[in-house]
Structure 1
Amino acid sequence: MADQFTEVDRLTETLRESLETAVNRQEDIGRQDVLTRIESVIQTIVIGVSKGEAPVLRVMNRSRWENIRFQKSVGLVLNNVSLVALRCDCPSSATKFALFLKVLSVIYKLVQSDSYATKRDLYYNDLQLFGSQKTLDFIVDDISCLLKVPRRSLHVLATSKGFLSGDLCYLEEDGAKVDCSSSSTAVPVSSNVNGIRNIVSSAKFILIVEKDATFQRLLDDDFCTRLSPCIIITGKGVPDVNSRLMVRKLWDALHIPVFALVDADPYGIEIMYIYKYGSLSMAFEAHSLTVPSVLWLGLLPSDIQRYRVPEETFIPLSQADEKKINSLRNRNYITCHPEWEKEIETMQRLKQKAEIQSLASIAPHFLTRVYLPNKLRYGGWI
């Protein structure tokens, strides 16, 4: 069985050699440091009020590509960020100003008491005040960005939506042992990935799976043990922060290849890029969220023709798809990967997209017994 994966083994050795000298630049921030930074923000407001000035908070604008710089070894990082002024005397920002201070005060109490809460907890403590979970989530991220600390240092946790399975055991922060090796069930990604320790695994690679349906198919076919020891993880579409943190944590701990299995469509490609290089809104925390070595295992647009996927399973590109493709091709990280760019061009030329499930039209177990084994055996990734 080991001889079947010489290409994966070679890739593993290359990764380990390059990662031995790598330094994780994202440091945990001490509790006192976080408290000091919050106090500094409040002090600035108080001083302004004492001078008869209207209180103002200046937060980074995290929604503009102009504020982002691409760094190949890390991904999307903030660069020359423009600021947005939240004024208490301005009708358009007064509400957000008040919410910002409210959340900041809650975070201060959490850090001071060394206790934790989920974003969901904070939201349900005052539904009417926040109006929506999205509003609260955005403010928490803004505070993390303003204070220049990882979100985990704010003692505010996010509920995870991802799952993982495979050759993996670890301890949670509270000492609970987690065994992900059951072939029939998956383990939810921890809400406190940073607290995970004592990671033990003999996996040869990590496989990121875009969709839960495909993830379940791999579980049903006992993919993690029947083919080769590995770890599979899904963020169920666009990944949440904890799923991204988990992939990064495993990559740092195990130094093994990380592959992505996504649909051959522009949205699948973008999801893969989020794991690899990060996202616009979370660029301020790129150093702990991205895995720049992620490799595209499938489904490649060129695979549609190579494996003679039945045409009736193809889906024509919509106007939204074409718009997304053009958006992707305008991003500077695409040009760093000519092979990826070529695959995107192939999709655009064919004017067709295909889901991973389309491989089942060739044979029910084609994905797990032919497609993936051949890809891993012969180095069919880019």
Structure 2
Amino acid sequence: MKSLIEQAKDIHGEISVGRRPSLRVPIRSLSNVSFSLRKGFFTIGKKVSKRTLSYQTIKPFAQTVRMMAFAKHLIETDDFASKREVYYTSKGSAKRGAEAGKAGWGPAAFKEQPESDAIMDDMEAMVAVNREQLGFIPAEQNGSVAGELIVIDIDPATGRRIEIDCTAFGRGSYSIPSRVEGLGFRTKAKFILTVETAALFERLNGHAYWRDGKCIIVAMGGVPTRANRRFVRLLSDSCKLPVYVFTDGDPYGYGNIYRTMKVGSGNSAHISEFFCVPNAKLIGVTPQDIRDYNLPTHPLEDKDKKRAQDAIKNDPFFKNNRQWVQALREMVEMGVRVEQQAFAARGLNYVMEAYLPEKLRNPRKMLP
């Protein structure tokens, strides 16, 4: 709220002295993004775009100010809105004549949702607060959690503190909410295991691997969402737990899923500090695992090879890490990829009865 008010005061102050107001928005293009080896995540540079109110900029300027006002309203009323709802809010009702546009933003209404999304991202970078805290939430599934974990939350209806036992969902699981700030945790687990596929999560949860493994299992469901990454980061920091990531053994699993969990996204460098898990390690499936466990594989496609070669040459996270360069080159030379479910060839429960325990006993076989 403080950041929003300060921005609004700056605009008002410039207008009060007869100057055209300006918005200073950090440039979010990759030319203004760098990877910090010391910090372990992407950071945004100092370049900013100064958007001064003019005939050409009046609409996006007005849209940004209206978005700021809407965020202030959401915070004050402890409400939230999805990206799609923000888009429709700007349009207001469909009434005609004198009533037209009364409930909406009038000429500042968005024509298409990508226009609304871009303004939201700019505002997030401008006030340096993640949009979930401003009341804007994505309409997506954020993953599931199982294991010996108590999540401490607030009942939105009563405001009372509630404790959610992640072992008490039977064959189900706890769903990560879109807004995770303010959650508390209590656990005796030794580590967090995040898995790429829902199928593997169901197997591990269905057989209560978390009990024998003394861990918390988190399903990513593909590339982890912001809420998923933030939840894992908060849980790891709060309870001082290591994080192990389990993906398919292919360049997509490494470059899109694991890398996003560990160092964040270059496109969201302005907020990556809060949406990454620098202490994460890849438990598998590694190229060496293919040999060690004689796993069935699939041929690498041309797009896989290109993704791996591009990571070695251009990605600041991979190209600065000798172990990862070696692993990616090894995969390209082998010409194969492997799925998490490939362990089923050695028995349906081999992955939790043998593979995971062996890898946990030998952390040096994990990739950083």
The TM-score, its normalising length taken from structure 2, stands at 0.83
Check 1:232–1:139 CA distance in 2 against 1; reply closer, same or farther (3 A cut): farther
Q: Counterparts of 1:33-112 in structure 2 under 5 Å?
A: 33-43=2-12, 46=15, 50-51=18-19, 57-83=23-49, 85=51, 89-90=55-56, 96-111=60-75
CA drift of 1:117 comes to: 0.8
d(CA) in 2 for partners of 1:232, 1:336: 30
User: Is structure 2 residue 315 aligned with structure 1 residue 328?
Assistant: no
Shift in Å, 1:87: 6.1
1:169 shift after superposition:
0.6
Say if 2:246 is the partner of 1:283.
no
2:116 corresponds in structure 1 to: 136
Choose the corresponding residue for 2:221, options 218, 222, 236. Answer: 236
The equivalent of 2:81 in structure 1 is 118
Of 283, 287, 292, the residue aligned with 1:297 is 283
SS, match of residue 266 in structure 2: coil
Q: Is 2:336 the partner of 1:373?
A: no
In structure 2, C-alpha distance between the alignment counterparts of 1:291 and 1:275, rounded to whole Å? 6
**Corresponding residue of 1:316:** 300
Higher relative contact order (CA 8 A, sep 6+): 1
| C-alpha separation in 2, matches of 1:317 and 1:45 | 57
Distance 1:143 1:305 in 2: 49
In structure 2, list runs of 5 or more residues that go unmatched. 93-108, 156-160
Q: 1:317 to 1:105 in 2, by over 3 A?
A: same
Distance, in Å, in 2 between the alignment partners of 1:235 and 1:276 is 13
Q: Which amino acid aligns with 2:74?
A: L
Aligned-pair CA distance for 1:148: 2.1
User: What SS does the aligned partner of 2:271 have?
Assistant: helix
119-128 or 324-333: bigger deviation: 119-128
For residues 137 and 217 of structure 1, what CA distance do their matches in structure 2 show? Answer: 37
> Residues 56, 293 of structure 1: CA spacing in aligned structure 2 closer, same or farther, 3 A cutoff?
same
* Aligned partner (choices 332, 344, 347) of residue 348 of structure 1: 332
CA distance in 1, matches of 2:39, 2:187: 26
Once the two structures are superposed, what CA deviation does each residue of 1:109-149 show, in whole Å capped at 9, x if it has no partner?
233x2422132432343469445555433322221211122
Query: What is the one-letter code of the residue matched to 1:168?
Result: L
- Distance in 2 (CA, whole Å) between partners of 1:173 and 1:133 is 32
Superposition CA RMSD, Å: 2.6
Structure 2 SS opposite 1:176: strand
Residue 169 of structure 1 aligns with which residue? 150
CA 1:38/1:157 → structure 2, altered by over 3 Å: closer, same or farther? Answer: farther
What is aligned with 2:249? 264
**1:208 equivalent in structure 2:** 194
- Residues 222-259 of structure 1 deviation map (CA, whole Å, 9 limit, x = unaligned): 2212x322111123111111111101111111112100
Q: Does the Cα contact within 8 Å between 1:67 and 1:80 map onto a contact in 2?
A: no
Matching residue's letter, 1:180? C
CA distance in structure 2 between the partners assigned to 1:325 and 1:37 by the alignment: 45
- How far did residue 218 of structure 1 move? 1.8
Aligned pairs, number: 340
Uncovered stretches (5+) of structure 1, i.e. residues with no partner = 1-30
What CA distance in whole angstroms lies between the structure 2 residues aligned with 1:266 and 1:87?
Answer: 45
Confirm or deny: 8 A CA contact 1:169 1:200 kept in the other structure.
yes
How does the TM-score come out when normalised to structure 1?
A: 0.80
Amino acid at match of 1:269: Y
Pair 213,83 (structure 1): closer, same or farther in 2 beyond 3 Å: farther
Q: Is the 8 A contact 1:34 1:153 kept in 2?
A: no
| Contact kept in structure 2, 1:74 and 1:277, CA below 8 Å | yes
- Paired residue type of 1:350: M
Q: Residues 293, 206 of structure 1: CA spacing in aligned structure 2 closer, same or farther, 3 A cutoff?
A: same
For residues 14-33 of structure 1, what are the structure 2 equivalents within 5 Å?
A: 31=1, 33=2
Letter in 1 for 2:216: I
CA apart distance, 1:42? 2.9
The question of whether the paired residues in 2 share the 8 Å contact of 1:208 and 1:233 is answered with yes
